[in-house]
Structure 1
Amino acid sequence: MTLFMQHALFLLCVVVISALGMAQGQAIAIVGTLVEENTVQPIPYATVAIYDSNTKEIITGDTTDDTGQFKIRLSRTDFYLEISFMGYKTKTISTFTVSNGTIDLGTIQLSPDSQALNEVVVTGEVSRTVFKLDKRVFNVGTDISSTGVSALEVLNNVPSVNVNIEGEVTLRGSGGVQILINGKPSVLADQSGNALGTITADMIDSIEVITNPSAKYEASGTAGILNIILKKEEKAGWNGSISANTGTPDNHSIGGSINRRTEHFNLFTQFGAGYRSLPEDTKAINRNLTNGESILSYGEEFRNETFFNITLGTDYHLNKYNVLTLSGNFAYEIEDQPSETNFSFFNGNDLVSRWVRRETTDANNPKWQYEFNWAKTFQNNEEHTFQWSALGSFFGKDQSSLFNDTTLEGDNVDRNQRTATVFQQADYTFKADYVNPLTEEYTIETGAQYVINDVGNDFEVQDIIDGNFITDDNLTNNFEWTQKVLGLYVTGAYENDTWGLKVGLRMESTDLSTLLTNTNEANSQNFTNLFPTLHTSYKLNDNFSLQAGYSRRIFRPRLWDLNPFFNIRNNFNVRVGNPDLQPEFTDSYELTSIYKIGKASMSSSLYHRYTTEVVERVSTFENNVTLTSPENIGTNASVGFETNGKYSPSKWLTLTGDFNFNYFDRKGTFEDQIFDFTGNRWSARLGSKIGLPAAIDLEFIGNYSSDFKTVQGEQRGFASLDLGMRKKILNGKIVLNLGVRDVFASRQEERFVNQPTFETYDFELRGRFVTFGISYGFGKGEAMTYSGRRR
């Protein structure tokens, strides 16, 4: 009989015999602490069984907790105890004393059983990927679930998914991945923090990889969806971690996380504080081709931030079929944004003026997020489910800036300005999903989602004139933005062992309004759209599958695309939103092959996307000032090929690669200017993870992005390299991390605009970042790195 069957039989006996009842009488508490004989270390999860002294039948039992302690209540004294744990000799206790209703067995020592250890053969399920209609399901086997690593490490084992040492998740080489927990947005899934570290591998049942979402998911586009499915029944236990980090430029933080699971509750928390600085080098050139004037600028900008945050949450299992989740996060940021920009004004080759513009900015940013979720499983089938959730968030910013221009040479351009911003954004999401597997082959899904976005941005610009601050009415206003999206969907699917088909239809009704209160400029949009989806798959064998899909997607303009206010840090290169911007729509077709070759897993896709009302940033030029705003510019038809793979020739080496090439055909006009052109763009990403002796892991990630044409010019490509190193101590209880992002400081953005009357050049560079962290884990899991909340 296998060890698993023995434990299962034991637990079954405990449940049955306990249900039949024990003799009535006064309850006696049996307590004790179990330790290892040689090291005196606690032994968690050992079996404590109580047997009838006469019949030798089991009465009840329990397991020790993380500290080796146990407590059992009983209403009789005619019994004996057997304490057992794999690899140790079983201990029987039949002599004890009852004192004040308690039997205190004190510290109990178990000695190793060398013979038993030699005979033990552990077998378990190996993690594997199952291909479904519109997704791939990575089932987490005991090879991973027993390791105690965090959810981020589990994600890193999923084909097509990569998590670097800093915890950033990409899917098929692309960022912007939406992570869900049990099919819904969650505080735990928010990638702006490291809350995923509170989930350990033994809590995860499977991970769904969705690259072309069905009608079940909202129609706004992302790089893809990773849905983490947690186990419905979790073993009691706890895990936690504390971390400290430092880096250059300044990046210092301390934090901790704790997760505690009992029979009915799963409690989790994460907290932290820190300080970080984000410098950026900038350059810009504005050339007026009609009169020969030009403005050159270069400078360095900083965003310094002190931050505090805490996450609290719980899952409460009402019973076997109902689970409630309540969680929340609060964060507070204190910002300081000093910058210095040097300007030179030329008329031809003659210097007219040279000056420096200095900025001092302070801001306070409170933010919080909360969620409530009810998940119900029906008794007839664990796949028959209903789920309702509510998610809310708030972000505020109270910011003031002072700008000072000082003439260094030539004409006097001294000027002082200040701005004040009061910004508030509240978002609410209500979601309901119902899944009913009618038979083993037919499934229907239906549900609804309602999203509310409510934003207010009060912005004021003042000029210092004769020592007094005078409001500039042309640049001062209060922007209000409200968007409400109601979505309803239904899907039907047929799937057998080799072939499947899934059709779906989603309806989304959007109600959008913007208002500039000072000038009473209003814009209202109300539109309803249908988003059909079609997915099919064919499984040739266990190692090769084909998937084909069609979906219609929408890109709704984001807040900063609509907000007409701008930062006047560089008042000759201004970016501003467009309240009249329309959404863009995309018809997406994709044919994907998924295959395994030995120890390599590969995925290749051919795709075609046709987008209307394409949102592009367009620059206009007046008085040597470049004003850039988003506009709807015609259509974009693209065809492309994408392939990615993961190859693990040995336990110590994993190689990953992604390659994407697309050819695009742009057509459109703006202010009587025709933007018709074709071009191509490609990118590649190569990564390697090397396991060295002494539990040291090395990571190398190289990226390349090619040049490509834009509607008014060109954007230059770049190549970059990231390095990471991790050292585990005490079986992962202590983890040391060293990361170098952009080793050669080559991840730069260069944009050119070439028009008949003007030319512009923009350059931005973040530079090299070096970080070092140490984490200590306690309880069941490994140490989990906390590096603060990413912006």
Structure 2
Amino acid sequence: MKNLLKLFFTFLFLISIPAVSQAQKVKITGKVVEKSTNQPLEYASAIAQSIQNPSISDGIITNEKGEFTLNVFPGNYNIKIEFLGFETTEINNRAVVKDINLGTIYVAEDNQLLEEVVISVERPMVEIKLDKKVYNVADDATVKGGTASEVLDNVPSLAVDQDGNVSLRGNDNVTVLIDGRPSGMTGNVADVLRTLPADAISKVEVITNPSARYEAEGGAGIVNIVLKKGKGQGVNGSVSVTAGTPENTRFNGNINVKGEKYNFFAGGGYNKSNSPGNSSTNSAYLDGNGDIAYFMDEKSKTKRRNEGNNVNFGLDLFLTDNITWTNSVMFRNQNGNRSNRVDYNNYDTNGVLNYLRNRDSNTETTRKGVEYNTRLETRFAKDGHKLIIDGAASSSFENDMATILDVTNGTALNKILNERTLSDEKQRRMIGTVDYVLPIGENSQFEAGYRGSYSNMTTDFQVDSLSAGNWVTNTRYTNTFQYIETVNALYSQFGSKINKFSYLVGLRWEDSKINVNELISQNYNTKRYNDFFPSAFLAYELNEKSNVSVSYSRRINRPRGRMLNPFSNYSSNINLFQGNPDLDPSKTNSFDLGYMTKFGKVNFNASAYLNHTENAYQFVSRESGAFVDGVPVILSSPINLATEYRYGAEVNAMYNPFRWWRLNANINVYRSESKGDYTYVNFLGESITQNFDNNTFGASARLTSKVTLPGKIDWQTNISYRAPQDRAQGKVKSETGVNIGFSKDVLKDKATIALNVQDLFNSRKRRFETNLDTVISNSEMQWRERQVNLTFTYRFNRPKNERERFRNNEEMGGGEEMMGM
């Protein structure tokens, strides 16, 4: 009870520090480090209280490096360092007559954890820092029981389309990482995000202009998913169970066992789901004079059933006080079934039915993957001086087998077609990195490192037709595709802070060797290129509550997988997607101007950005020359265009009108200008040139409201909107979605019950218009219908807000740390 009272009065004290301005203040600085692991302790409370006049004092929360700065008047002070679950460290009767540095303060974990009520301050939904935005999603009630895809689609600035592709500020050239590593280590990125449980995610970092430390991949920036990790002494963990409709059953658990010289962690999960979806396309086909020849209505119903599990475990070994070696292994196993029914109705110009066609496909999928990670971190005598060696290796396998029954009935056509597709994909990947960090003085830092990566993906794709009782291979859509990528990179960067001015400059060099091989057709293509990727960040503190920043980086986007593979999909035989093996990488120069400030109860962040991309690519549609029952087959493929300019502005505002109500709003407005021509030969042997000069306007908005209702029930609502957008060959129409969630802590805050509805009004549908010389169509696609989930989470020996205590909402802001350091 005594310790509880200390925490209570400390909390009251932090939110009622008086403003005194009659004399010149001095600074007390220091760094708080966890004794057992030698790691910085973020969110610890640092408090200085005057001995002569106890009402004169200052308090603050340590930043991510464990650092703090207290501003006090000259005198004698009692200084305290406190954090829930750790012993309080006191420095009593310290004379402070000028700026002093207390150095590194080590704190030890308290073995006598409080069993009474824990007083904690909830972490904000968004932390805006100079080089990135951090979205704390661990307590997001609207995605409980969901997947990583749904988490990302709920984050401002991000969007996830029906194929699982992630875009940032309307740009889909994004690199997605999980704990700083490529998310596709054990398979396709979209598949990994759709199987990774939302309950495993702690936060999402959005980095729009990465420094030279990060790989140059991703023209729009980097999204890093940070997973939850247990760090408490002894045994702790949590279990989570979800039930939903349409069927969504999930079980996830993790455990952490920590001693003085080791930390063992393990987790696993099981999922079983059924995600119904639908789509429709209404088309008018034109003759050579531009007149309507006939109409085609296409409707599709899809059911996706998935069942799988994942297991991971690892061990941190504290070899010495300064050396930590971590090893971990992860296994994934997923089985799925996708049934798809497509109905085609062909009408003449008078609306009379010519024929009815039904295409039923059933796909069985098996995905398996294993990944091994190792990390050796050495910390030297000087604080912040360290060497980190990282390694990862993974292997994954995916098998798809689909059977297709195609039946046509009509006045002129009566036939039955049996087809099947077989797809085997194998991928191996290895990554090794070395990072060296050297602090110079108090406010400068030098970094250098190496990164090498190797990946090999082979896809066997085959289409067969049943003829006279025998399966005959369709060579038009059959091949073995191989993609081999080797990238070596070196980087260095230097940053410093001089009074109110901060800067970070860096240079990265990457050497790439790419092999794109079509083995059956014996079409081999090797590309070798290297380039420099500079970056620069400048920031200036206008005052204690405001700062401005400007940044630049050069990025690259290498086409992979589906973008290159000409044989990967056959779900519809009149609307085909075909990869382009001749795609070249695109390179982007990215500029960003930012401004952050705080006034009253509002935290405001605005940025203007410009992306100039060379060799940009987009999807084009054209007739293939093939026909199915007289209907031309339309191919959609990515191509390289000459240049693309994308510029816009983004505004993020956090407002706390009351203690029980928090609001976060995000608005992104941009314009994209593309310039380029595309030439192809049609089925008549004619050379067709299409001009793809296109200026388009795009906008998106998102509003998140979190209200604490009576009974300590949290109610969260997320509203998203995407404005219509013109494209070179059509238009994307507007889209609106609403998610709601309710959560309540029970069992003395050891457990949480959450109920949510994703896509409350069943309105999240992608709608398109396509205008070609031969066809005009309107399409609508809903990847998944409305979902309702109920989740129960129980934590043992782990407080709900473990290490998530944060400063009072009045102190919420972007921090003052050096950018990128």
Residues 312-342 of structure 1: per-residue CA shift (max 9 Å, x gap): 1121111111111111211111111111111
Deviations 1:115-161 (A, max 9, x none): xxxxxxx99754669999xxxxxxx9948999999xxx857352452
Q: Which one of the candidate residues 257, 262, 268 is aligned to 2:259?
A: 262
Shift of 1:713: 1.1
Equivalent position amino acid for 2:608 in 1:
L
CA distance in 2, matches of 1:506, 1:747: 40
Give the aligned residue type for 1:635.
T
The answer to whether residue 730 in structure 2 is matched with residue 713 in structure 1 is: yes
Counterpart Cα distance in 2 of 1:351 and 1:183:
56
Tell me if the contact between 1:533 and 1:550 (Cα under 8 Å) persists in the aligned partners: yes
Q: Which moved more, 1:754-763 or 1:277-286?
A: 754-763
Q: Is the counterpart of residue 243 in structure 1 residue 212 in structure 2?
A: no
Task: Choose the corresponding residue for 1:534, options 533, 536, 559.
Answer: 536
Report if aligned partners of 2:550, 2:593 keep a CA contact under 8 Å in 1.
yes
Give the direction of change, closer, same or farther, for the CA distance of 1:556–1:460 in structure 2 (3 Å limit).
same
2:787 pairs with 1:769: yes
Q: State how far apart, in whole Å, the 1-side matches of 2:651 and 2:3 are.
A: 43
Which residue of structure 2 aligns with residue 158 of structure 1?
A: 127
Cα pair distance change 1:641/1:367, threshold 3 Å: same
Give the aligned partner of residue 116 of structure 1.
none
What is the CA–CA distance in structure 2 between the aligned matches of 1:516 and 1:155, rounded to whole Å? 50
1:273 corresponding residue in structure 2: 270
Which residue identity lines up with residue 265 of structure 1 in the other structure?
A: Y
Q: Which amino acid aligns with 2:643?
A: T
Instruction: Output the amino acid matched with 2:569.
Output: N
CA distance in 1, matches of 2:591, 2:228: 31
1:333 aligns with 2:324: no
Q: Check the 8 A contact 2:280/2:780 in 1, yes or no.
A: yes
User: Residue 728 of structure 1 aligns with which residue?
Assistant: 745
Q: Deviations over 1:440-492 (max 9, x none)?
A: 23321111111112101111111111121111122211111111111111112
1:297 aligns with 2:307: no
Name the structure 2 match of 1:479: 481
Across the two proteins, how many residue pairs are aligned to each other?
Answer: 655
| Residues 240 and 783 in structure 1, CA contact (< 8 A), matched pair in contact too | no
Q: Is the 8 A contact 2:339 2:361 kept in 1?
A: yes
- Which residue, out of 655, 660, 684, partners 2:701? 684
From 567, 573, 590, the equivalent of 2:575 is 573
How do 1:749-768 and structure 2 match up within 5 A?
749-765=766-782, 766-768=784-786
Q: Which residue of 1 aligns with 2:667?
A: 659
For 1:659 and 1:500, the matched residues in 2 are separated by: 28
Letter of the aligned partner of 1:724 in structure 2? Answer: G
What is residue 596 of structure 2 aligned with on the other side? 594
| 8 Å contact kept, 1:333–1:366 | yes
Matches within 5 A, 1:578-657: 578-621=580-623, 622=625, 623=627, 624-657=632-665
Listed one character per residue, the Cα deviations across residues 735-771 of structure 1 (whole Å, up to 9, x for unaligned) are 1111111111111111222123322333211221111
SS of the residue corresponding to residue 383 of structure 1 reads coil
TM-score of the two chains, using structure 2 as the length reference: 0.74
Distance across 2 between alignment mates of 1:318 and 1:198:
28
Query: Structure 1 residue 513: deviation in Å?
Result: 0.7
- C-alpha contact 1:640 1:660 (8 A) present in aligned 2: yes
Residues 1:493 and 1:545: Cα distance change in structure 2 (over 3 Å):
same
User: Aligned AA for 1:664?
Assistant: S
Q: Partner of 2:24 in structure 1?
A: none
Q: Are residues 406 and 183 of structure 1, via their aligned partners in 2, closer, same or farther at CA, if it must alter by over 3 Å?
A: closer
**Structure 1 pair 365/618, CA: closer, same or farther in 2 (3 Å)?**
same
**8 A Cα contact 1:144 1:154, kept in partner:** no
Give 1:253-652 correspondences, 5 Å limit: 253-290=250-287, 292-349=293-350, 350-379=352-381, 381-410=382-411, 411-621=413-623, 622=625, 623=627, 624-652=632-660
Q: Normalising to structure 1: TM-score of the pair?
A: 0.77
Q: Sequence identity, in percent?
A: 27
Conservation of the 8 A alpha-carbon contact between 1:372 and 1:391: yes
Whole-Å separation in 2 of the counterparts to 1:690 and 1:708: 33
Larger Rg: 1
Equivalent residues of 1:581, 1:631 under 8 A apart = yes
Shift of 1:382: 2.3
Distance, in Å, in 1 between the alignment partners of 2:297 and 2:281 is 6
Aligned 8 A contact 1:182 1:230 in 2: no
Deviations 1:505-549 (A, max 9, x none): 111111111111111011111110111111111012221111100
On the 8 A contact 1:242/1:783 being kept in 2, the answer is no
**Distance change (3 Å), C-alpha of 1:3 and 1:783:** closer
CA distance in 1, matches of 2:302, 2:529: 41
| SS across alignment from 2:268 | strand
* Change in CA separation of 1:191 and 1:386 when aligned onto 2, cut-off 3 Å: farther
Letter aligned with residue 357 of structure 2: W
757-766 or 412-421, which moves further after superposition?
Answer: 757-766
Deviations 1:28-57 (A, max 9, x none): xxxxxxxxxxxxxxxxxxxxxxxxxxxxxx
- Structure 1, unaligned runs of 5 or more: 8-62, 64-121, 133-139, 202-206, 785-791
Distance between the aligned counterparts of 1:482 and 1:290, measured in 2?
Answer: 44
The CA distance in 1 between the partners of 2:705 and 2:85, in whole Å, is 20
**Deviation at residue 209 of structure 1 after TM alignment:** 6.8
Residues 235, 761 of structure 1: alpha-carbon distance in 2 compared, 3 angstrom cutoff: closer
Alpha-carbon distance change, 556 to 208 in structure 1, aligned in 2, over 3 angstroms: closer
Q: Could you tell me how far 1:258 is from its partner in structure 2?
A: 0.9
The one-letter amino acid of 1:755's match is L
Alpha carbons of 1:764 and 1:311: their partners in 2 closer, same or farther (altered >3 Å)? same
Opposite residue 295 of structure 1, the aligned amino acid is M
* SS, match of residue 566 in structure 1: coil
Note the C-alpha offset of 1:184.
Answer: 6.0
The 8 Å contact of residues 213 and 225 in structure 1, kept in 2 or not, is answered as no
Report if aligned partners of 1:776, 1:783 keep a CA contact under 8 Å in 2: no
Deviation of residue 223 (structure 1)?
Answer: 4.5
Task: Tell me how far 1:294 sits from its aligned partner.
Answer: 3.6
1: distance between equivalents of 2:82 and 2:588?
38
- Mapped contact 2:461–2:568 kept (Cα < 8 A): no
Q: CA deviation at 1:182?
A: 8.1
Which secondary structure does the structure 1 equivalent of 2:415 belong to? coil
Structure 2 partner of 1:115: none
User: By how many angstroms is 1:301 displaced?
Assistant: 1.1
- Cα distance in 1 for residues equivalent to 2:736 and 2:340: 27
Cα distance, 1:375 vs structure 2: 1.0
The verdict on how the C-alpha distance between 1:473 and 1:774 changes in structure 2, with shifts beyond 3 A counting, is same
Q: Is the 8 A contact 1:358 1:405 kept in 2?
A: yes
What SS is found at the alignment partner of 1:338?
Answer: strand
Give the CA deviation at 1:408: 4.0
